[in-house]
Amino acid sequence: MNSQTRVSRRGRLISGVAMMSISIAALAATPVSPPRAWTLQDIAAAPEVVDLLISEDGKQATYIIRRGDLATNAKLSSLRRVDLATGVDRELKSSSWLSELRIIPGSTDLSVLADIGEGVQLYRIDGTGRFEAVLVNRDLDQVGSAMEGLHPFGISDYGWAPDGKSYWYAKRTSKAADARTVNPRFLPLFTAYGSSPIELHIRGADGRDVMLDRIDATAAGFYAVEWGADASSLTYWARASDHESFEHRRWSRKQSKAEVVGRESDFYAPRHDIPGPRGGSLTTTGFGNDRKLIETLRDGSVIERGRVAFRLGDPRASQNWRSPEGDVALIGIRYYENPRYGLVRVTRSGGVDEVRVEGSLTHCSVNRAFTAGVCIRESMVSPPELVRLNPRKGNVTSVVDLSPSHSAIAPLRIVPRMWTNRDGYKASGYVVYPRNHEATRKYPAILVTHGGDADQRFASVEFQWDYPVQAWAERGYIVIAMNEPAMSDSAELTAAYAQWGGSGSLPLERVQDLIWINTVRSFEAAVEDLAAQGVVDAGRVGIAGYSAGSQMVNVAMTQSKMFRVASSGDGGYLEPSGYFSNSSSYRAVYGGSPYDRAAVPRYERLSPTFRAARAAGPMLQQVAGGHSTQFELNAALRDAGVPTELVYYPDESHLFHQPRNRLTAMQENIDWFDFWLLGKEDSDPAKAEQYGRWRAMREKWSAGR
Amino acid sequence: MNSQTRVSRRGRLISGVAMMSISIAALAATPVSPPRAWTLQDIAAAPEVVDLLISEDGKQATYIIRRGDLATNAKLSSLRRVDLATGVDRELKSSSWLSELRIIPGSTDLSVLADIGEGVQLYRIDGTGRFEAVLVNRDLDQVGSAMEGLHPFGISDYGWAPDGKSYWYAKRTSKAADARTVNPRFLPLFTAYGSSPIELHIRGADGRDVMLDRIDATAAGFYAVEWGADASSLTYWARASDHESFEHRRWSRKQSKAEVVGRESDFYAPRHDIPGPRGGSLTTTGFGNDRKLIETLRDGSVIERGRVAFRLGDPRASQNWRSPEGDVALIGIRYYENPRYGLVRVTRSGGVDEVRVEGSLTHCSVNRAFTAGVCIRESMVSPPELVRLNPRKGNVTSVVDLSPSHSAIAPLRIVPRMWTNRDGYKASGYVVYPRNHEATRKYPAILVTHGGDADQRFASVEFQWDYPVQAWAERGYIVIAMNEPAMSDSAELTAAYAQWGGSGSLPLERVQDLIWINTVRSFEAAVEDLAAQGVVDAGRVGIAGYSAGSQMVNVAMTQSKMFRVASSGDGGYLEPSGYFSNSSSYRAVYGGSPYDRAAVPRYERLSPTFRAARAAGPMLQQVAGGHSTQFELNAALRDAGVPTELVYYPDESHLFHQPRNRLTAMQENIDWFDFWLLGKEDSDPAKAEQYGRWRAMREKWSAGR
């Protein structure tokens, strides 16, 4: 076994099936070190599966895994192939960029976007793992995203026609043409996303190239591109030129230009139908635990499938399939309580059978014959593992551990919870216990939040960003990994969110209360509950969140006295100057501009910048964006004498992509919470200036109260 | 004569001396095409002299000239050497970056910062023009500025000690170290300026390297670095870590760390003394035409030199020298009326003799023996020419034309003017007449402004930015190239500006009136005067300005009804959200944040965003920054139904550095003013979408009034 092959050495978490003999054998053959504790390096190097595909014969799976590489200070992607019978896992290619792994129809070959030295281009991969260029565009553009730094892109997306010969592709055009953007909508984010217009092309089986459409760079891309039954038509979504809505466009070979066939507001972004076993479309009705699964048939009639504890269509859940005979649908779901991702088999005869595992099943792939499948199994404490799935029977067997270095860490103890706030709204979350937790002690606590991302994925950067949840637990903090009350779990919240994203008739103050104040009350409910149980020391509780979480942190700190200190990551929504790049959404919250005297009282009611003088405690902002909204909150807090620090990480994306910056930001959060909650300082002499600043802030803050 | 050599073929503008025989000969030998008209390409390719040095023996001059190169869409620098006797002008090196040309003390060699393939590094240039590396730092950082795009820099500044062996230098440190910036002050500008801390080092004659100081990237650099009498001490200015002031720091070989020996507010940035012929320091007292030249001696006594029509110390004027005997000082000046740059010889015996030329003398260099000098002579309509200067006698002789392609353009007619506004304040400017101007016709007019940059420099990008002054004159517009009433010309204005930049006791409304409203009144006075004379059609006048000019344009459009249309370039100061990145300066104007109810009336009085509904006409913003201030003005104008467009140029600096973007932006300004002032449209079908937008705006605007 060389360093490029590995097999599972974990048998844990498998339910409903016998462990495979290969796993047992490997376990016996591998020297096992004693379980160890989490380090910040482990968090920065946590793996993320990008794509997973099973071969049509069900014998192999090919996947892309990406992880932070501290040596190169970048993310490294690895394309790997697993023999599902033996569990032997072989690397085909290592690269700074690999994505969009696809089966080429009518072939056993795959295709992928990869940077193998010429920017990101489109390649074919044959059965031996050999790469062959399909399309290379040498007019490269630096393109990034909220999750990734800039990469040189030649081809940015593609999709095979059913004939396996034609394909559509998207590329940036040359900057030289005309790099201006007239009336852009999202200027501050713009440079991170590439600066050239994006073109949608079709390359025919005969090699002829047709440009179908072109949109400006800020529109980011084409979505849900789908071929018609053959290669003669294509439908897709794109941002309308007014940037206020999405257009569904259709091109056919008879037309020179795509036509608009539908339009949706920003709030209702492109969606796919979920196929049911009666030829209809599956969805759920109702909210929370009252949800029912229904299938809407083509004639409009509805078949009820009974009450379910999950919902469909979550973008973090797996895709959906229907058997060739149409009698079984395999559907990706997210559970309501203990939010995890899974699969259900919905059969024509009426069955709704969950595929039972502990943790989550994500990134599943099923062959067209519906005879074989693979998934990633992971949980908040268990690193990703490749598993086989029998799509007909719904059982799962372990194949190979995808991150042995993380499997060597002793799992932390987590307990899923639901909390009900004083207004009756429920919110889910997890209590992450400190290593060697003592039931008789009260612990300091940090609540971490990011929308609904507190779930059963492993060290998910989308949830925890640069908040070192695991390292805090190792250091003796209780971490409350907490979701907001979900829109999808309440009719009233759905109405409030719909009004925020489009239209409605609630008073604006009610929208403010339902979305933001209500969430703060859920946070308070969680802390009060854990304090009442004697688990948490209510006088030493902090709060942290990025993006949507940052918004909630900023509101929590200026509405509640529950949290003594906060860390707020690359956010700014709700801060007043955001009105000017996002006015329609702000109007739904505030009714107008912050310079409009009629709207000012609503800003004073909710906007953290307007309420800075009421802040309950010190606030750290770690930012990559450098938006005016981040600045104004910082300035308002400073003006009000509240300890605050704004730390700018240059050349970063919204989710930091440089592992060393992640280490630095995580350490900064450790220092910040230790200082303000525990009065502790790191003795590293290099940090003297930091503690000098913080001590001066603390003195001024104590004197002023 | 090959393409790399050229000699003068112009004899114009030379005064006080006979034309040189070499020029005559060249003029006779060169076929002369008929004078031609300006094109946008001429403006985008206008030359800019970066550095000029005369050799100690007075026989040669070496200079760097930079110009926009449309083929590569970048600026190209050329290092050239001129034999002053023959006028033969030879290129030594062409490069994407050349700057900081210096004589190495005690040697006939020069040194320069150049990018010859390894990023910007420090080189020695011998008598034959050969380059030899002095110091190469391979840890490159991408560094830009307000005027330049990003370049890879190894060494960013340097200066030789008097021994000609030791030197100080500045470099960026590796990003890997710690790329964060804690509490940055100027975040939105930050990425353009490089993202790593800057270090100041000394390299001794023995090769030993000492790091003296380190400042964060947003502090931009070290200023006015000066060696002591020998290589054992060094003084310099740097931004203080609070970013609120500049510190004067001193390092000596005995100390390990530099000490702070002085501090100034931002407003009074680092200054140099100007040497007088009595061993004192020269300055002017009084304002406008009442200015007197004085020399303050070391004992504090003052010698009056009489009334003068100029002032000293302008950074655009030439440097200053004192003869080795100390009896003559040669001083760079700027004239009050018809603002041009020149030299005066101030002698011990009391003489104050101006070096007489038409146009300006800039970039002068004089040898240590004070026996020979060179300058650039240029004017608003005459391209730069290298001239010899006799520093003792003060006469000037032509040597070589530095831009024959621009000399081929028939000069436009300009008339310098002073206008007095209704409050009695004077402002200078130039009327640029249309080609083939007819005295009996009234012309449409465009007023272009940028602080005090309307002066006798050739097609200066610092004044005209992407406003095609010359092309507008070719198209039949009167262009009013206009300055604001200068702080340096009025005691009251000086007080108002000082209060804006630091402290004072004027009511804030008075500061607003003196600096901004007063300037708008000067613009109105100029237009009223030209309309009264029958030169300008008062119903068809527009206004354009970038940066400081953009501020004035935005105020003019929301305070006055004089201008029917505007173009506002990469500005935003005075717009409310600027408070949060520049609060101390905004407090001097508004008294507080735009969210502070007490300060709001002062924003409503001056801030264009607050006054958008009063805008007199359509406003175009062309921006490179993408600041919130630009967004909020755009949004407020749109909310108010005022025609407006925000065009974002990515990868640009405050002054656009990509020649193709300059062409596009200039053409956009031509289209914009033609459309709104003349009702004209370009028939290019590629512009159909543009005119569609503008016509829709025009209809809505007409209907709403």
Q: Distance (Å, rounded) from C-alpha B644 to C-alpha B637? A: 7
Q: Collapse the DSSP code of B685 into the 3-class scheme (helix H, G, I; strand E, B; otherwise coil) and give the result.
A: helix
Is residue B519 classed as helix, strand or coil in its secondary structure? helix
Which of A361-375, A581-595, B214-228, B676-690 has the least mean pLDDT? B214-228
Percentage of residues of chain A with pLDDT beyond 70: 90
Angle value at C-alpha B493, between B489 and B495, nearest 5 degrees = 120
Residue B529 phi, psi dihedral angles, 5° rounding: -60, -50
In three-state form (DSSP H/G/I as H, E/B as E, the rest C), the secondary structure along A189-224 is: HHHHHCCCCEEEEEECCCCCEEEEEEECHHHCCEEE
Q: Distance between CA atoms of A445 and A543, rounded to whole angstroms?
A: 8
**Pairing relation of β-strands B131-135 and B120-125?**
antiparallel
- For chain B, the farthest-separated pair of C-alpha atoms sits apart, in whole angstroms, at 78
Q: Is A591 on the interface with B (CB under 8 A)?
A: no
- CB B525 within 8 Å of CB B424: no
Radius of gyration of the CA atoms of chain B, in A:
26
Distance CA(A57)–CA(A61), nearest Å, equals 10
Contact by Cβ (8 Å): A178, B647: no
The C-alpha R_g of chain A, in whole angstroms, comes to 26
Element housing A688 (H / E): helix A688-703
Length of chain A: 705
- Measured in degrees and rounded to the nearest 5, phi and psi for residue B524 equal -60, -40
| A195 contacts chain B (CB < 8 A) | yes
The arithmetic mean of pLDDT across residues A213-234, rounded, is 82
What's residue A183's pLDDT? 66
Partnered with residue B59 across adjacent β-strands are none
Q: Which residues of A touch B610 (CB under 8 A)?
A: 595
Find the residue in A nearest to B660 (Cα). A176
Say which residue, A65 or A627, is predicted with more confidence.
Answer: A65
What is the pLDDT, as a whole number, of residue A488? 83
Contact between residue B618 and residue B646 where contact means Cβ atoms under 8 Å apart: no
Supply the pLDDT for residue B1: 30
pLDDT tens, residue by residue, B42-69:
999 999 999 999 999 999 999 999 999 9
Residue A174: which pLDDT band, with cuts at 50, 70 and 90? low
Closest residue on chain A to B188 (Cα): A626
Provide the β-strand partners of residue B64. Answer: B51, B79
Alpha-carbon distance A119 to A117, whole Å? 6
Structure-derived torsion over alpha carbons of residues A484, A510, A582, A646, reported in degrees to the nearest 10: -50
**Per-residue confidence (pLDDT) for residue A360, from 0 to 100:** 98
Q: What three-state secondary structure class fits B354?
A: strand
Could you write out the DSSP letters of every residue in A134-166? EE---S-EEE--SSS--EEES--EEEE-TTSS-
What is the pLDDT, as a whole number, of residue B178? 61
Does residue A649 carry a pLDDT above 50? yes
Range in A308-317, A426-435, B3-12 the model is least confident about: B3-12
Q: What are residue B282's DSSP bridge partners?
A: B295
Q: Hey, is the C-beta of B648 within 8 angstroms of any chain A C-beta?
A: yes
Say if CB A616 and CB A564 are below 8 A apart: yes
Q: Do A650 and B181 touch (CB under 8 A)?
A: yes
Phi and psi at residue B463, in whole multiples of 5°?
-85, -55
Residue A6: the pLDDT is: 34
* Residue A630 or A124, more confident: A124
The ipTM assigned to this model is: 0.79
Residue A690 to chain B, least CA–CA distance (Å): 9
Which pLDDT score is estimated for B195?
A: 62
**Residue holding tokens 């109810």?**
B597
State whether B187 and A597 contact (CB < 8 Å): no
Please report the pLDDT score of residue B20 as a whole number. Answer: 34
Confidence of residue A262 (pLDDT cuts 50, 70, 90): confident
Please report the residues numbered 62 through 91 in chain A whose beta carbons come closer than 8 angstroms to any beta carbon of chain B: 73
Q: Which of A586, A632, A694 to mutate to test the interface with B (most CBs of B within 10 A)?
A: A632
B660 touches A: beta carbon within 8 Å: yes
| Chains A, B: CB pairs < 8 Å | 151
Task: Kindly tell me the burial class for residue A402, based on how many C-beta atoms sit within 10 Å of its own C-beta (0-12, 13-18, 19 or more).
Answer: buried
β B414-420/B426-432 pair status: antiparallel
Q: What is the DSSP string of B212-226?
A: EEEE-GGG--EEEEE
Whole-model pTM: value is 0.85
Q: Are B591 and B598 in contact (CB under 8 A)?
A: yes
Q: Which of A195, A639, A648 to mutate to test the interface with B (most CBs of B within 10 A)?
A: A648
On whether the CB atoms of residues B544 and B447 are closer than 8 A, the answer is: yes
Closest CA to B129 of B80, B58, B66, B61: B80
| Of the candidate ranges A219-228, A695-704, B217-226, B352-361, the one whose mean pLDDT is the lowest | B217-226
- pLDDT (tens digit per residue) in B220-255: 688 889 998 877 899 999 888 766 778 899 999 888
Strand partners, A616: none
Q: Alpha carbon of B296 to those of A86, B225, B270, B323, B494: distances in Å? A: 92, 24, 19, 18, 21
A103-141: buried (b, 16+ CB within 10 Å) or exposed (e) per residue? bbeeeeebbbbbbbeebbbbbbbeeeeebeebbebeebb
The size of chain B, in residues, is: 705
Q: Which of B53, B49, B113, B61 is nearest to B87 (CA)?
A: B61
**pLDDT surpassing 50 at residue A297:** yes
Pairing between β-strand A619-623 and β-strand A565-569 as defined by DSSP bridges: parallel
Task: Please answer yes or no on whether B580 and A634 come within 8 Å at the CB atom.
Answer: yes
Do the Cβ atoms of A581 and B632 come closer than 8 Å? no
Query: Is B182 close to A647, i.e. CB distance below 8 A?
Result: yes
Q: Which of A240-249, A384-393, A633-642, B107-116 has the lowest mean pLDDT?
A: A240-249
Could you give the dihedral angle defined by the CA atoms of residues A569, A574, A580 and A585, in that order, rounded to the nearest 10 degrees?
Answer: 110
Residue among A480, A436, A457, A452 at smallest CA distance from A382 = A457
Name A207's Cβ contacts closer than 8 Å, sequence gap at least 6. Answer: none
Q: Distance (Å, rounded) from C-alpha A537 to C-alpha A634?
A: 29
Residue A322: CA atoms inside 13 Å, Cβ hemisphere, count? Answer: 15
- Give the whole-angstrom CA distance, residue A397 versus residue A391: 12
Q: Is B631 on the interface with A (CB under 8 A)?
A: yes
pLDDT at A29 exceeding the cut of 80: no
Integer CA distances (angstroms), A530 to A444, A489, A560, B150, B186, in order:
11, 23, 17, 53, 42
List of chain B residues whose C-beta atoms are within 8 Å of the C-beta of residue A183: 634, 645-647
- In this prediction, residue B46 carries a pLDDT of 97
Cα separation, B321 vs B325, in Å, equals: 11
Give the chain B residue whose CA is nearest to the CA of A644.
B183
> Span A679-696, mean pLDDT?
94
Which regions in chain B score pLDDT beneath 50? Answer: 1-29, 176, 187-192
> Considering CB atoms only, which of B593, B626, B639 is closest to A190?
B626
Q: Which residue of A has its CA nearest to B71?
A: A176
Residue A386 three-state SS: strand
* Closest-CA residue to A66 (of A52, A86, A83): A52
Find which of B632, B644, B647, B697 to mutate to test the A interface (most A CBs within 10 Å of its CB): B632
B150 token code pair: 């990003």
**Cβ neighbours of B646 in A, within 8 Å:** 182-184
Alpha carbon distances (Å) from A125 to A129, A133, A134, A513, A604: 6, 9, 10, 53, 58
Of A397 and B289, the structure prediction assigns the larger pLDDT to A397
Phi, psi dihedral angles at B664 (to 5 degrees): -60, -45
Amino acid type, B32: V
Inter-CA distances, B6 with A14, A360, B18, B45, B83, Å: 83, 76, 20, 18, 11
Asked if the Cβ–Cβ distance from B600 to A597 is below 8 Å, we say yes
Dihedral sign, Cα of residue B311, residue B317, residue B323, residue B324: positive
- Whether B466 and B571 have beta carbons less than 8 Å apart is answered as no
Task: List Cβ neighbours of B198 (8 Å cut-off, separation of 6 or more).
Answer: B156, B170, B171, B172, B173, B214, B215, B216, B217, B219, B220, B221, B222
Q: What is the mean pLDDT of chain A?
A: 89
B194 CB within 8 Å of a chain A CB:
no
How is residue A257 written in tokens? Answer: 């230009």
Q: What is the pLDDT of residue B197?
A: 80
For CA atoms A522, A523, A524, A529, the dihedral sign is positive
b/e string for B523-546 if b means 16 or more Cβ within 10 A? bbbbbbbbbeeebbbeebbbbbbb
Owner of token pair 């050739």: B458
The C-alpha angle A12, A15, A19, rounded to 5 degrees, equals 60
